[in-house]
Amino acid sequence: MKRLIHLTLAVMFASALTVGTPYFAAAQEKKAFDGVTLRINGYGGDYSRILQEYVAKPLFEKTGLKVEYQNSTVAAAVAKVIASRDNPPFDIIMVDSPNVPELTKSGLIEEVTRDEVPNISKLLPGVREFGNYGVPFLTNATVVLYNSKQIKEPIKSYADLARADLKDRVGLLSPDNTCGLLAMIALAEANGGSPDNMEPAFKALAGMKKNIASVTSATVNLMQMYEQEEVWAGIMWDGRVYSMRSKGHPIETVAPEEGVYALFNYLAPVKGTKNRKAVLAYINQALSDEAVGALVNFFRYAPCTDIKLSDEVAKDVVVYGKNQAKRKSVDWEKVSGIRGQIIEEFNKAMR
C-alpha cells in the first residue's frame, strides 16, 4: 500500500512538472531586448516625461528595452553626433525639420522604411519631407496670437501686425528661433517673395517696425511678456499659445490668412548604431496612438499620424483635420542654407 502511494505521488509530481513547464519557461523566457539600453537625446521637461511614460515604459514592459534620455537642445545633440561620427553618442536622434538635411548630407543618419516600422503606415500624406530619412511624429506650427482683453478687433493675418492700434505692442521671435525663421519665410511668400527672394519679407518687417516692442530668440522670455501684458500681439508656436491660454491668460490663437508654416519633430537611427532593431521598435512605439495622443493632449501640437482626437482637444490643435490644408510646405534644404543670411539681415533691420 505504501509503495502504491509513493508511486501515485511520483506520477502526480511528474505530471505537475510536465503541465507546469510551459508556464515556468514563459516566466523565464528572455524578452527581445533584455540587456539593451537605447541612447537618445531628449527635449527635457514634460516632453521627456511623456516620452518616458508612453514610449520607454511600454517598451521596457513588452521587450525589456531600456531607454536613456540625455536632455539638451537639438543643436547640442546634432553637434555631438557630428563631432563623434566614429563613436556615436546616441543610437537614435530626435530633431526637427531644419536639422534633417544637414544630418542626411553628412551621412550621419540611416533610412527607415515602412516595412521596418509598421506604424509608418499611420503617417499623414506629405509629412515625410525627406524621403526615407527621418520619421516625423509631431508638428510645431507658427501662428499669430493676440490678447483679446486688450485688442478688440480680432487679428487675422501677419499683415495685421502692422495695424496702427498695435504701436509698441508686438513681440517677435528672431530667426535664431525656428519660429521666427518660419515667420520670415511666411512674410516673404505672402508678399510675392520666396526663400530665393527675401526682400519682400524685410519690407513687410519694416512696415510693422514701429509696432515691435520686443524681439528675442528665447520663447520663454517672450511668453512672460505676453503673460504680463507687456506685448499684446505677435507670432509664436501654437503649443506655447495654448499653454498660456490654459493658464487663464486671454490669448487667442490665429491660423493666419497667409497660411500656416510648420516643422515636424523627427526620429532617426544614428549611423553606426549597434541597436538598430531596438531603434525601429522605439520609432514604432513613438508612432502609436498611445504616445502621440499623450503628446497632443498635453501640448496641443498637431499629430503627424492619423490619430482621431476628441473634440475637446481638436479645437485647440491648429493643423488638424480640414485645417491640414492650410499648412504650407517648406524647402528646408534651401531655408537651412540661407538661415545665417536671414538672421544677419534681420538683425540689421531691427537696429
Q: Do 309 and 236 share a structural domain?
A: no
Residue 11 placed within a domain:
no
N-to-C CA span, the chain? 106
Digit-coded pLDDT (tens) for 129-174: 999 999 999 999 999 999 999 999 999 999 999 999 999 999 999 9
How many domains are contained in the chain? 2
Q: What is the pLDDT of residues 295-306, one digit of tens each?
A: 999 999 999 999
pLDDT tens digits in sequence order for the chain, 351 residues long: 444 444 444 444 444 444 444 444 445 578 999 999 999 999 999 999 999 999 999 999 999 999 999 999 999 999 999 999 999 999 999 999 999 999 999 999 999 999 999 999 999 999 999 999 999 999 999 999 999 999 999 999 999 999 999 999 999 999 999 999 999 999 999 999 999 999 999 999 999 999 999 999 999 999 999 999 999 999 999 999 999 999 999 999 999 999 999 999 999 999 999 999 999 999 999 999 999 999 999 999 999 999 999 999 999 999 999 888 899 999 999 999 999 999 999 999 998
Residue 12 included in any domain: no
The domain in which residue 214 lies consists of 140-262+331-349
Q: Which amino acid appears at position 104 of this protein?
A: T
- Which residues, in sequence order, are bridge partners of residue 144? 235, 254
Q: Which CATH number does the domain housing residue 215 bear?
A: 3.40.190.10
How far apart are the C-alpha atoms of 78 and 94, rounded to whole Å? 9
CB 248 within 8 A of CB 178: no
Same domain, 152 and 299: no
| Residue 58 and residue 107 in one domain | yes
Q: Do residues 243 and 288 share a domain?
A: no
Assess whether 125 and 76 both reside in one domain: yes
User: Are 231 and 267 in a shared domain?
Assistant: no
Same domain, 249 and 216: yes
Of 64, 20, 101, 104, which is closest to residue 338 (Cα–Cα)?
101
Is 231 found in the same domain as 205?
yes
Give me the half-sphere count of Cα atoms (radius 13 Å) on the Cβ side of residue 345.
17
Assess whether 167 and 253 both reside in one domain: yes
